Structure 1
Amino acid sequence: MRPAPEQPMRKQERPEWYGQQPQWPAEPSQGTGYGSAGRAQAPGDVGPGTGGPGPGPGPAAPFQQRPLLPEPEPAYSYPEYEPHPHDRRAGRVRKPLLAGGAVAGAAAIALVGYLMSSGGSPAKTGGALAAGSSPSPTHTSFQPTSADPATAAEQTATAFLSAWQSGDLQAAAKYTDDPTDAMTALNTYKSGLNLSSLTLKPQPAQAAASTPASPSVSASASGSGASTAAAASADGPSATVPFSATATVSMTGKNGTMPWSYNSSLVAYKQPDGWSVRWSPSILAPGLADGQQLTVVAMPPSVNKVVDSAGRTLSSYSDAAVRNIAVSLESKAPVGTGTPGVAVQVMDASGAAVGKTPLATLQKPVDASELKTTIDPTVQALAEKAVSMRARSSMVVLRPSTGAILAVANTPGSGDTALIGGLAPGSTFKIVTSTALLKYGVVTPYSPVTCPLEYTVQGVVYHNATDDTTKKEESEPPGTPFITDFAQSCNNAFTQFYKQLEGGKLANIASSYFGLNQAWDIGLGPNRYFSMPGSESGAELAQENFGQGKIVASPLAMASVAATVGTGSFHQPYLVSGVTKVTANALPSGIDANLKTLMHAVVLNGTAAGVFSGITGPLYAKTGTAETDANKDGKPNAWLVVYDPYLDIAIGTVVQDSGYGSVYAGPEERYVLSHL
C-alpha cells in the first residue's frame, strides 16, 4: 500500500479569542493606611491614624461651651498666606488659618472649635475603613466661622482636605454633597495608588460672582497656585479652592515608593444648612471622570535598534513577520531590557488604560540602544527561500536544545501564520496523542491496533485518508502494530481511544509535557500559540485525537512538539533572552524512546518515506493533513514537523490550501536541512 497521510472529514472550529493578547486588570493593594493626624503612626498600625476633622454627634454648640482640647500635632503644613483683598475690610486683616506647618495656640483652638461646632471631630482609627468595609457616610454640612464666601470656602476645603489627608475617608466624604460616590472614589484612589502618605495644601480661594448660575467644577493642573473664580451656584455663594497634592505611591507587588505631585481644585458652596464640597472625581486628579480610577504602572522602555544574532537590523529583512517582530520589540522592550519607568495611568472600569499616554510620568524609562534576537541570518535566508516554493506557506525553525527561534518565514499573503497560526494541526498532533496513550498504558509501539475504514462516535462517522493511487480509503487490519498505524497515519487507530483519554487526560499531557495550551512570552508579551479544550469527550475528543475539532495551532507550537521529543524535555521557544519562560515535565525516558521510534518509522517507511533522501543521520518526523473552514476548493492544509539531532534543528511547516504534508511541506523542510 502506498503511504499517504489522512484527510479527515471534520472541519475545525476556532475560538474567536485565539491570537488575541490577553489583558489582565491591575489588582488593587489592600494597603495599611497612610499616616495619621494627631499622633505618629506606630509600627504595625493598620489604617488611617487618629486626628483630623470629622462629624461629631449632636447639634452644634457655641465654642465657648466646649472644653479645650490639647494642641494636636499638625498632620500637614500650609504656606503662610498673604492677606487677601477681601480680608482688608474695615481696617481688619485676617490671620491665616494655618501657617508654616504649625498652628498658633489661639488659632489652633479656634480651628478645633469651629470644626467641632460644625459637627467635626478628630479622625478615628479606620482599620475597617481601610478595607472598604465602613458603612456609607451621611452628608453633614460644614459650619464655617466666617460669613465671607471666600474664607468660608477655604474653611470648608480645609476640613475636607484635612480629613482626606489623615486617612479618615468617611469624614472627608461626609463634607461632600455625594458622600457615597466620594467614599468609593477616595478608597479607590488609595488602593489604586498603593498610597502610603498624602500631603494636601490649599491655596487662597476667591468668591464667585453674585449672579446665580449652574455650578461648575474647575480642575487646574497649571501649578501656578493662582485663585480661579467659580460661578455661583443656585444653592448659594461658592468659591473655587485650588490645592496641591503630594502622594507617596508604589506599584503593586514592587518594593519602593515614589512621590507624585500635582495640582487640582474643588468647589465649596453654601447650602441652606451650611457649606459643602461639590463632589467630582476630578478633585482626586485633573480630568478624572466617573467610572475611572488611578493605577501606578510600569512604563516599558523602547529599543532603538533590534538586530539578529549577527547584528543585522531586523527591519532590513524582506519577510513581513520578521519586520513585525522588530516593530513590536522596538515599541515595547521585553522584561530585562532597558529600565522601565513608572507612571500614573487612568484606567476604565474594565481595567483598560484610558488614552495613549499616562496621566503623569513619575520616572522616565531608560531605552535600550540595541536588542539582539535569536534570528540566525543563515537559517532565516534558507527558510525564506524554502517557503517561496509554495503559495501560502509558513515555517518556523527552532534550536531544540535551548528553544531559540532561528527563523520565521511566510510567503506574501500568508500573514504571520508561522507564529500566530490558528489552524488545525492535523496528524502532527498524533505525537501528543501517542504520548497520552503510552503514558496511560493504552498501547505500546507494538500493540495490535486495528484501523477500520469507518468509526462512528455519537452519530459522527470518521474516515481515514484516501490513497492517492488507488483512490480507496486506507485501513489497517486487526493485529496491525501500533507503530504501523502511526507511521501510516491511520486516523481511526486513534479515534477509537477517545474514552480512554476522557477527563482531560489529553489536554493534561499537552500542557504538562509539551508546555502547550498556555501563554508563552517569546519576547513579544504573553500569547497563546496553541489552544485546545481543557476537558472534552465523545465525538469532539475523538477527532481531537487526530488533531482536528477545536484544536488550533501554529507552526511554532508544532515545531516545539517535535523539539520536545528530540531532546526529551520542553524548552519554551523564545526570540530574546531574559523572558520568563513556561516550564514542563521531562518526558519519561521510556516514553521518549518510544516516541522517537514511532517518528523515525514515519521517515523510514511511513508517510514521509523518501522525503528526506540524501540527508544523513536519523530523522524524526510526522506528517499531517487537515481540513479547515478556510480551505479553498476543498483543499486541506499540509503539515510536517521534523527533528534533526545532528544539526540540533526542529522545523514546523504548514502550506495552506494544498494537500498532503509529505508532498507540499516536505520539500521545503528538506531544502533547509540539506543546506545546513
Structure 2
Amino acid sequence: MRSGAKTAVIGGVFIVFAGGVGYGAYSLYGGSGGGAGATTRSAEVKTGPLSAAEIDKAAKDFLTGWADGTDAADVAQLTNNATAAGPAISGYRDQAHVTKAVITPGTAAGAKVPFTVKATVAFKGQSKPWSYSSELTVVRGKTTGRPLVDWAPSVIHPKLTDSTVLVTGEASAPPIKAVDRDGTELTKEKYPSLGAVLDQLRTKYGEDAGGSAGIELMLKADSGSEDGSGTTADAKAAADQSLLTLSKGKPGELTTTLDAGVQAAAEQSVKKYSEASVVALQPSTGEILAVANNRKDGWNAAMLGQQAPGSTMKIMTAALLLEKGLVGADKPAECPKNAIYQGRKFQNLDEFSIPNGTFAQSFARSCNTAFIKLIDDTEDDGALAKEAQEVFGIGLNWQTGIPSFDGSVPAGTGSEAAAQYIGQGTVQMNVLNMASVTATAKNGAFKQPVIVPRTLDDRKMATAARSLSPDAADQLRSMMRLTATNGTGAKAMSGLGGDKGAKTGSAEVDGQTTSNSWFTGYENDLAAAAVVQAGGHGGDAAGPVVASVLSAG
C-alpha cells in the first residue's frame, strides 16, 4: 500500500495490488477464502512500534476479508474490538444490501491507511452505484501484540457511529419539498448548511406532508443502543439521513418559517470561519428565519450545542438586577479592575476599570466586576436561574419542530454563581438560545422559537411565567443600544441602522488557548446570535457574522 495500491475487478473477482505484489484474488461474498483466515498468531507477544510491513498486512487482511464476505465474526477478530465490529461488518451486507464492492487502498500515512469504496447497493429489483472514502488505523493489540485495525464504525463508512446503522429499504419517511415562508424551495444543494435540519424535518413531518416513500440507503438511529429507554441520547436526536436513493418517492410540500434570503446570508457568513454557527429569528413571533453551521461533522450545533455563552449571558443577568432594583441604566455602578467573590478572583479584560461610570457603561464595555459585586444583594442563590426560566423561557422544553436544546441555567452557589453571572461555569447555551434571549429583550416577552408553523401540528408551545417588567425592558434595550453604538459591539454593528442593540461575549474553554467568540444583536424585528469556536473577542469574529445576517433581514 505504501508504494501506491491499485485494484481491479476481473470477471467479478476482487484483486488488490501493492507495489506490484498481488495480495490475492477474492470473489465478493463468494467465499473464496484467505481473508480473515490468513492471519496466524505468533507465540511471542510483540511490543514496540509497528513496522510498515505489519501495517500493510493488517490492513490487507481486514479489507480483503471484509470484501470477500468472509464470516463477519472472523473479520472482526482482525480488529481490537471484535464484539462491536462484527455486527457492523455483517450489517454492511445483510442490512445495507451491498452486493458488490471494490476497495482501493491508498498510500499509508504512518499507521493510517485511507481507502475508497466503489460499491453497488441492490434491493427489491432496484440497484445503484455507491462510492465513498474512509480510512483505518492499525494498532498493536494490548494483550496479543498483534497488528489490529483500531475499530471505529467510521471504518465501514465515515458517517457511521456507535448509535447508528446502515439500512437499505423503503424510506421511513417520504421525501419533502421544504419551502420558506414565501414558497421558495430550500434544498441541500443550494443551502448545504440546512442538510441536518431538512433531514430532521423529513423524519418528523414527511408522512404528514402528503408524499410517498421511495427506496433508499439510510443512516438510521440504532434502536438497540441502550440508555435505559431503548436508544442513546445521540440516537434519539438523530434524524434518518439518506445516503443513496435507489428509487425516488413522491415529495410532499412542507412550509417552514425560514427566509431564503436570510438563510443565504447566514450560510455565507459562517463560511468565513471554521466551526461557526448562527441563528436568526423574529422577536415578535419567535419564528426562526435562518439556521447555519460551518462544521466538519455536519452537526446542527446551532440548535443542539451546549456551551458557556460568555458575556452575552449578561443580558439575563442585567434583567435580573434591573427587576430587583439593584441597578439603573443611568445610575452609578462600581467597575473595579478585579473583584474577589468567596475566594475566587474575577477580572475584566486586560484589567480595565471604569471610574465613576454608570451601569449602562459597564454593560456596554462588558465589565465583569460590576455584575459580580452585586450577587449577594440578590439574596437568593437561585435568582438567576429563576429569571432565566420565568422570563426568558430557558429550560422549558421547547417544541421548535425539530430536536433542539433549550438552554440550562442551574441554581448556582458560591463562586460558581459568580461565574454564571458572566456566562461561565455551569451555564449552557447555544446560538438558538441566545438569539431567543435577545428577542425576548427586544420584544419584552418570550416567544418560543419555531421552525415550522404552530398550526402544522398540535405540539404544545413553551410559555414563560411572565413578561419582563416594562421599566426593566426599556432600560435593558437602552443598554443594548449603547453597546451597539458606543460599546464593544459598535464596530460590528456600524453598518446597520434602525432600532438596534447588541451584546458581545468571550467564553473561556478548558484546554483552549483562545476563547470562543459570541455575539448577539437585533435590528428592528430581527434578532440573531452567533458563536465562532476559538474566535477570540465577541466583536471580532461572531460580530460580523451576526451583522451580515441582520443586514439581510
Structure-2-length-normalised TM-score: 0.58
Aligned twin of 1:638: 517
Q: Which amino acid aligns with 1:605?
A: N
Q: Is the 8 A contact 1:405 1:573 kept in 2?
A: yes
Cα distance change, pair 674–332 in 1 and its aligned pair in 2 (3 A): closer
Q: Which amino acid aligns with 2:449?
A: P
Correspondence 1:500 to 2:377: yes
How far off its partner does 1:614 sit?
3.3
Could you say which structure has the higher strand fraction? 2
Correspondence 1:572 to 2:448: yes
Correspondence 1:558 to 2:434: yes
Q: Distance in 2 between matches of 1:651 and 1:494?
A: 24
Aligned twin of 2:178: 307
How far off its partner does 1:353 sit?
7.9
Correspondence 1:544 to 2:420: yes
Q: Deviations over 1:485-506 (max 9, x none)?
A: 1111010111112223433111
Q: Distance in 2 between matches of 1:558 and 1:630?
A: 24
How far off its partner does 1:440 sit?
1.3
1:370 is paired with a residue whose SS is: strand
How far off its partner does 1:615 sit?
2.3
Of 462, 474, 479, which aligns to 1:582? 462
How far off its partner does 1:321 sit?
4.6
Aligned twin of 1:316: 188
Aligned twin of 1:531: 408
Structure of greater Rg: 1
Q: Distance in 1 between matches of 2:193 and 2:514?
A: 25
Correspondence 1:377 to 2:260: yes
Cα distance change, pair 614–332 in 1 and its aligned pair in 2 (3 A): closer
Aligned twin of 1:202: none
How far off its partner does 1:672 sit?
2.7
Correspondence 1:325 to 2:197: yes
Give structure 2 stretches of 5+ with no counterpart: 1-171, 212-222, 236-249
Q: Distance in 2 between matches of 1:575 and 1:546?
A: 29
Q: Distance in 1 between matches of 2:227 and 2:331?
A: 57
Cα distance change, pair 581–353 in 1 and its aligned pair in 2 (3 A): same
Equivalence map 1:440-455=2 (5 Å): 440-455=324-339
Aligned twin of 2:315: 431
Q: Distance in 2 between matches of 1:422 and 1:447?
A: 35
Aligned twin of 2:392: 514
Q: State the Cα RMSD in Å.
A: 2.9
2:521 is paired with a residue whose SS is: strand
Q: Which amino acid aligns with 1:404?
A: E
Equivalence map 1:71-470=2 (5 Å): 302-309=173-180, 310-317=182-189, 319=191, 321-333=193-205, 350-352=228-230, 369-413=252-296, 415-466=299-350
Q: Is the 8 A contact 1:334 1:524 kept in 2?
A: no
Aligned twin of 1:284: none
Of 522, 534, 537, which aligns to 1:657? 534
Structure-1-length-normalised TM-score: 0.48
Q: Which amino acid aligns with 1:304?
A: P
Q: Is the 8 A contact 2:177 2:251 kept in 1?
A: no
2:492 is paired with a residue whose SS is: coil
1:449 is paired with a residue whose SS is: coil
Q: Distance in 2 between matches of 1:421 and 1:351?
A: 22
Q: Distance in 2 between matches of 1:338 and 1:515?
A: 33
Q: Deviations over 1:246-301 (max 9, x none)?
A: xxxxxxxxxxxxxxxxxxxxxxxxxxxxxxxxxxxxxxxxxxxxxxxxxxxxxxx9
2:280 is paired with a residue whose SS is: strand
Q: Is the 8 A contact 1:305 1:313 kept in 2?
A: no
How far off its partner does 1:605 sit?
1.3
Q: Is the 8 A contact 1:600 1:620 kept in 2?
A: yes
Q: Is the 8 A contact 1:529 1:553 kept in 2?
A: yes
Q: Is the 8 A contact 1:425 1:639 kept in 2?
A: yes
How far off its partner does 1:523 sit?
0.5
Q: Is the 8 A contact 1:306 1:329 kept in 2?
A: no
Q: Distance in 2 between matches of 1:604 and 1:325?
A: 34
Correspondence 1:625 to 2:493: no
Q: Is the 8 A contact 1:499 1:538 kept in 2?
A: no
Aligned twin of 1:188: none
Among the aligned pairs, what percent are the same residue? 36
2:389 is paired with a residue whose SS is: helix
Cα distance change, pair 349–668 in 1 and its aligned pair in 2 (3 A): closer
Q: Distance in 1 between matches of 2:326 and 2:209?
A: 47
Give structure 1 stretches of 5+ with no counterpart: 1-300, 340-344, 357-366, 467-472
Q: Deviations over 1:359-412 (max 9, x none)?
A: xxxxxxxx9933221121111111111112222221111111111111111123
Q: Distance in 2 between matches of 1:570 and 1:311?
A: 27
Q: Deviations over 1:617-639 (max 9, x none)?
A: 231111111111263xx101111
